[in-house]
Amino acid sequence: MQHSNHNKEGRRKMLKRQLMMILLVLSIGFVLGACSNKDEGSDMDKENAYTSARIAEDKVNTLFATALLKDEKTPILDPVIGTEAKAKELLLSYFDESLVDKILAHYITDQKDGDNIIVNNEPFFSASILSTSQLDDVKIEGSKKEYTLTTSDQGVYSLKWIEDDDKYVVSNYEKK
């Protein structure tokens, strides 16, 4: 009978140690989970926001600053896109609709040359993120849901995370 009590005692001690280990592991996991801020955003999120801003501005340049009339001076809307409606549709993949409307209002004129729409030759992005070459070239603030990127020449790009599309879009731009 003594042997049986000794076995029960040993099992209790073993079970007690296992429970203590489980509690310790759960406690550590809870503490680590509480200490990490999931909204802060990782370096990868910041890099994605930065890259999204660069791609968005590049799309604007492709649409409005690449194609010229035969005089090689007058800028026109990229003839492959051809219409303001198609330009808007394309830009909505990279920008908030309200910013797309501002970009179109800046570039689109009522002047035409045949089927070509003549556009304003002044850049919308007067302080360009394309003049930077890496994330370290900009000041970045915010969290995964919304970042603000500021260039050295005071161009301020606001980007927001679109969960359904799994991407960042530029929601605002201003030159300070």
What pLDDT is attached to residue 6? 61
Q: What is the pLDDT of residue 40?
A: 63
pLDDT for 23? 53
Query: What is the structure's pLDDT at 176?
Result: 87
The predicted model scores a pTM of: 0.77
Domain ranges of the chain: 1-36, 43-175
By the 8 A CB rule, do 103 and 91 touch? yes
Helices 43-64 and 84-91, interaxial angle, to 10°?
A: 170
Tell me what pLDDT residue 34 has: 43
Low-confidence ranges of the chain (pLDDT < 50): 30-38
